Structure 1
Amino acid sequence: MDDVQVERILQNPKFKKMVSKKATLSWTLTIIMLIVYVGFMLLVGYNKEFLMSSFSGGVTTWGIPLGLGIIVLSFVLCGVYSYIANNTLDQLNEEALREVENITHEKGLH
């Protein structure tokens, strides 16, 4: 593949749309996870009393459900990414690949 073909692929609107959507989705989910995780760490560092206080009037503290919530959130965000990737990004990826193949075949490359 020569530089002209590479440039045509990089400038292809479907390829650009796919890259943009993947980046937006990845950064959005990453920022959500970072905010939650850093918020929890700040809570651990600056408000231990709250985390040690009873959640239900018994022995369960607020730290337990919040910590488990962070773990569950990570699985939920993975599920969200998988769902969007399988239903939206895969279709864009296939369209972009077809156009890339057309660009490479124009010069007789395979």
Structure 2
Amino acid sequence: MAVQSYEIIQRNPKYRELVHQRSVLGWTLSAITLIIYFGFILLIAYAPKFLGTPIGSGVITIGIPIGVAVIVSAFVLVGIYVIRANATYDSLTREIVEESL
């Protein structure tokens, strides 16, 4: 019985659309994350003097806000996924389950 339900769900065009949408968003957010993190690492490796430049007359350097921005970007990207999942994916999943019963 469970195998039949799974096959019915897999044939549903809404399920295919859900899988496609989630895949595209997941890969996009993953690529953005990798670009941010590797970009920061490359900046550390190839421009340490730039990151060590003080801001104003204090002890804070340019690298500190950039590093904080890298961390904050991870939370922002997770937030984007959660908002999209709550707005689109949950309702689409509910529709798929209701149609397969």
1:53 maps to which residue?
Answer: 53
Q: Give the aligned length.
A: 101
Partner of 2:100: 100
Give ranges in structure 2 of 5+ residues lacking alignment. none
TM-score w.r.t. length of structure 2: 0.88
Other-structure match for 2:19: 19
Change (3 A) 1:89 1:62: same
Percent of pairs with identical residues: 43
- For the residues of structure 1 that align with 2:87 and 2:4, how far apart are their CA atoms? 32
Conservation of the 8 A alpha-carbon contact between 2:29 and 2:77: yes
Secondary structure, in 3 states, of the residue corresponding to 1:83? helix
Question: What's the offset of the Cα at 1:52?
Answer: 0.7
Q: Which runs of 4+ in 1 moved over 3 A?
A: 1-8
Matched, 1:62 2:49: no
Unaligned stretches of 5+ residues in structure 1 = 102-110
Question: Once superposed, what is the RMSD of the aligned Cα atoms?
Answer: 1.7
Change (3 A) 1:59 1:3: same
The letter for the 1-side match of 2:48 is K
Scaled by the length of structure 1, what TM-score is found?
0.82
Contact 1:51 1:63 in 2 (8 A): yes
